[in-house]
Amino acid sequence: GQNIDQPTEMTATEGAIVQINCTYQTSGFNGLFWYQQHAGEAPTFLSYNVLDGLEEKGRFSSFLSRSKGYSYLLLKELQMKDSASYLCAVRDGFSGGYNKLIFGAGTRLAVHP
């Protein structure tokens, strides 16, 4: 079956660093995405990993270990505007070429002053 697990909620302090973990078990794998979603809005693309290792993009970094079925999103120098839901999504490699995304339930991050 398809299963993607993330913590439901996390809290952190402005200026700190937070790591959001994601583990997955899917029938196929063709890349892992992280999206940010503010309440009532559409998700916005943050990062993409398809090979093992760390991808850095400004204040955001994402790590992937395919052998462990594990990824994390690292947010540095947290700002109040980073309060949002963070969605981990695996691209299914076995969907007739359509490469559909399978989403985790999302992690709601609350950043406090």
Partner 1 sequence: GAVVSQHPSRVICKSGTSVKIECRSLDFQATTMFWYRQFPKKSLMLMATSNEGSKATYEQGVEKDKFLINHASLTLSTLTVTSAHPEDSSFYICSARLAGGYNEQFFGPGTRLTVL
Query: CB–CB of 68/55 below 8 Å?
Result: no
Any contact of residue 21 with partner 1 (CB under 8 A)? no
Kindly state the smallest distance separating residue 60's Cβ from partner 1, in Å. 15
Among residues 19, 105, 110, 112, the one that binds partner 1 under rule CB under 8 A? 105
Kindly state the smallest distance separating residue 77's Cβ from partner 1, in Å. 25
Any contact of residue 33 with partner 1 (CB under 8 A)? yes
> Tell me, what amino acid is at 38?
H
Among residues 18, 87, 90, 111, the one that binds partner 1 under rule CB under 8 A? 87
Kindly state the smallest distance separating residue 73's Cβ from partner 1, in Å. 15
The footprint of partner 1 (CB under 8 A) covers 31, 33, 35, 40-45, 48, 87, 91, 95-96, 98-106, 108
